Structure formats: structure tokens, C-alpha cells
A = this chain, B = another copy of it.
């Protein structure tokens, strides 16, 4: 049916279709949506015809209200344009789409925004809420966040975190320590001994685990890491860049008076996150140090494009999209008792991808 006139014209409702097809609204509902259709072929056809004629589109909200729940999940990230979150989101959206459920994305860059986002999310009574957010774990809003989510679970919802086990909810995770040990071993085996370590916030669980793994191996190998060589920062390109620049300004990097490691300077950068590694590489160049030549660099995560920087980044591969998928599975799956702290490992032995940024020396 063509548009009648210029004025806004409300979409056809189920009732309109039923009337047009000369059947009850219930019958119309059955053919247009109903699980086990048990309608006579004749009325089925009539309804379908009426529906297409009227260009009927079900009102998802009305359906949601009537059913008490909606075929949707909400995904909270701190920054979609971060390749890491983008990759996870990709997995989430795709897995959700396969099951016919849509995902609403919310960005929450601060603890406050995150709490607000969760409240709004709960208001839509989704099947599940996926929090792919990992920072600000020690924020004052945390208890509120937790209680909000617990309430949500109590009402039948499902919450899951991605790469964050600080809160008592199921979490999709990977064996950070294993991956960390692998890179550290590679660093040592490749002949590096004066690393800078770029880590995340102390409250950041994944960062902690990665750091522990790295330190473990380094210690065992007799590599003493200078405390000043360990830099804090959020997991972002900018902070990775900034950390190296700071060190550069302080003369810590290149051989010389006051440089790290007894004035010998650093020979490698172990970033506990890919974007930090990428930022670091650019910063190294700004300090006259060629990544992959003067200084070896490793990342963690294997985001897309980590293979496209130059030299290509040697990093720990994490199945980002699969993690998003696992989160959807978790949220949509049936729940067991005592699942609260359940860990969903999608990768128990992350491999390190060898690329050009860490040649033997």
C-alpha cells in the first residue's frame, strides 16, 4: 500500500490486519508470530495477505510488554572506537543476531555513566546485560552497581562481565597469566633483559594477572625489573604513548646518565595491552628509538590492525569475537545454581603471535 498522504500515518496494528482479513485478532497474532501455528491454511493466507497489504510490522514494544521480556540484550562498553571493544562487540552482535535478538549498545566512560547506563538497561528488561568494561573497579559507585545488577538478576535477568572478575557475576575470561608467561618467556628467550612494562590500573584484574605472570617469569630468569620501568595507565593508545613520552623526557629510555638499568637504557617494552603497545611504538619513534630494532615491543590482545602497524606487533592472541560470543551464550543460556562467580574460559592457553616487533637479539 502506498503512502496515503503527507501527514504522519500510524502503522497498521494487529487489529487492522485482523479486520482486513476477517479473522479475530488472536488468529492474526498466531499466524504473524505464534510459535506453533495451528491455523487453517485459508485463514493463514488471508492474514498474510492482509498483513502485506497493510504493510504490517509488529510493535516490538507491545510484544515485549505482553510477554514481559524482550528479545534483546544490552552491551556496555567504555569506548566503541577502541579496537578491543569493537572486536568484542562484533562477536556479541553477531552471536545475538543469529538468535534473532538485538543488542543495544551503551557507552559508559566513567563509573557514574556506567551506573546510569545499567539503570537504563534494566529499564528495558533485556534478556541479559553484558558489561565489557574493566576500569574504575574501585569506584565508589561499585556497590551500587553491584546491587543494581543483583536486583536485575533477582528479577530473572542475567548479567555477565567480560574480562573482569572483580564483581560477583559470571565472567568471560581468558588465562591471562598463561599468556603473560608466554610473552615473558619469549622476551627472555629472545635475549631481552631491560624491559619497560606498561600496565593498567592496579584495580584492573586482567592487568594484575598479566603483570604477575610476566614478573614471575622475569624473576625466574633473573631479570630484575627496575621499579621506574613500570608505568601505570589506562588501557588506551593515548596512555601508552604518554607513558613512554614521560620516560623519554626523563631520560630513562636511551643509554646515558640517569637512564634505566644502570644507564644502559631499555631494550624492550612489554605492554599488557595492544593499544598501549601501539601508542608506545609511536612514542618510541618520537624518542629516536626504532621499535623492533632498537627496542623490542610486545602487546597483549591481538586486536585487528596489530598486524598492520610496523613492525607488526608481537602479541598474545585473545579470541576477542569469541569472547563476545561466549558472553551472549552465557546470558542466554540456562542458569544453574551458584553460577555467581562462574568463569567462562574461552581460552585457557593464549598463544603468542610472533611478529616483527620482537626480533631475536
Contacts and interface: CB of A to CB of B under 8 A. Distances in A.
Contacts of A151: 3, 11, 55
Secondary structure dominating the interface of A: mixed
B80 A237 contact: no
A81 B87 contact: yes
B102 A103 contact: no
A4 B151 CA distance: 10
Given A81-B304, A304-B237, A107 B97 contact: yes
A8 B150 CA distance: 11
Contacts of A87: 81
A305 B106 contact: no
A106 to B, nearest CB: 6
A292 to B, nearest CB: 10
Nearest to A77: B93
B83 A83 contact: yes
Nearest to A320: B81
Contact of A61 (B70, B79, B150): B70
Contacts of A80: 80, 86, 89-90, 93
Interface in A304-330: 304-305, 307-312, 321
Interface residues of A, number: 62
A119 interface: yes
A220 interface: no
Contact of A89 (B81, B122, B308): B81
A58 interface: yes
Nearest to A7: B154
Given A124-B61, A151-B55, A156 B93 contact: no
Given A81-B90, A93-B107, A282-B308, 14 more contacts: A8-B156, A11-B125, A11-B155, A58-B123, A61-B61, A72-B104, A80-B90, A81-B83, A81-B304, A97-B107, A97-B113, A237-B304, A281-B308, A309-B310
Interface of A: 3-4, 8-11, 55, 57-62, 64-65, 68, 70, 72, 79-81, 83, 86-87, 89-90, 93-94, 97, 102-107, 113, 119-120, 122-125, 150-151, 154-156, 237, 278-279, 281-282, 285, 304-305, 307-312, 321
Among all A-B residue pairs, the 4 with the closest Cβ atoms? A310-B310, A8-B156, A61-B64, A60-B123
